[in-house]
C-alpha cells in the first residue's frame, strides 16, 4: 500500500459561501469544484491550494450539511466548525482499505463508495487512527 499525496483536508462549516469567501479572499485559494453528495448528506466546495507538475493537487474540502440528520450536521452540533478529516490519495483505495482492514484498522465504507468528482473513497475509524478521521481517495 502506498499513499501518493495528501489529497485534501476536510473542514466542516455552517455557511459554505462565507467560508469559501474567507479562504479565497484571505489566502487566494481557487474554488475549483462544488457538489452535493446526497449519499453523505453534504454540500462541498473544493479549493485548490496548489498544484504540481504531475497534476496532483493539494486541496481543502469545505463541507456543510444538506440535512439535519447527516453525520456532518451531528459533527457541527457536537464540535462546531473546524477540521473534520484528512484524506490521503492512493492509486487503489480497495487494496489499501483491504490491507488496513487486515491490520486491524476499522474501515467504515466496505466496499469503498463514490465520493466527489467520481472518486472512490472510504474512511478509517478515528479511534484506530489516533483520533483522526482518515479518508482514502482514488481519483478517476
Per-residue pLDDT of 2-57, as tens digits, reads: 788 888 999 999 999 999 999 999 998 999 999 999 989 999 999 998 765 555 67
What's the pLDDT band for 128 if we cut at 50, 70, 90? Answer: very high
User: Which ranges of the chain would DSSP assign to H, the alpha helix?
Assistant: 16-27, 71-79, 93-102
Q: What pLDDT, on a 0 to 100 scale, did the predictor assign at position 140?
A: 87
CATH number of the domain within which 70 lies? 3.10.180.10
Query: The domain containing residue 119 runs over which residues?
Result: 3-138
Q: What pLDDT, on a 0 to 100 scale, did the predictor assign at position 47?
A: 95
Per-residue pLDDT of 57-109, as tens digits, reads: 789 999 999 999 999 999 999 999 999 999 999 999 999 999 999 999 999 99
Q: Write out the catalytic residue numbers.
A: 8, 44, 61, 85, 135
**Exposed (0-12), middle (13-18) or buried (19+): which is 107, by Cβ within 10 Å?**
buried
**How many domains does the chain divide into?**
1
Amino acid at each position: 500500500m502506498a499513499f501518493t499525496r495528501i489529497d485534501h483536508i476536510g473542514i466542516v462549516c455552517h455557511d459554505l459561501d462565507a467560508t469559501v469567501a474567507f479562504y479565497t479572499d484571505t489566502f487566494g485559494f481557487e474554488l475549483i469544484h462544488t457538489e452535493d453528495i446526497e449519499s453523505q448528506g453534504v454540500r462541498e466546495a473544493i479549493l485548490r491550494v496548489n498544484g504540481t507538475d504531475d497534476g496532483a493537487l493539494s486541496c481543502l474540502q469545505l463541507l456543510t450539511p444538506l440535512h439535519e440528520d447527516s453525520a456532518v450536521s451531528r459533527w457541527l452540533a457536537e464540535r462546531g466548525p473546524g477540521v473534520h478529516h484528512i484524506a490521503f490519495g492512493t492509486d487503489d483505495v480497495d487494496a489499501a482499505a483491504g490491507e488496513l482492514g487486515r491490520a486491524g484498522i476499522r474501515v467504515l465504507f466496505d466496499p469503498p463508495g463514490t465520493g466527489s468528482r467520481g472518486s472512490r473513497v472510504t474512511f478509517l475509524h478515528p479511534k484506530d487512527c489516533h483520533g483522526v478521521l482518515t479518508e482514502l481517495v482514488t481519483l478517476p
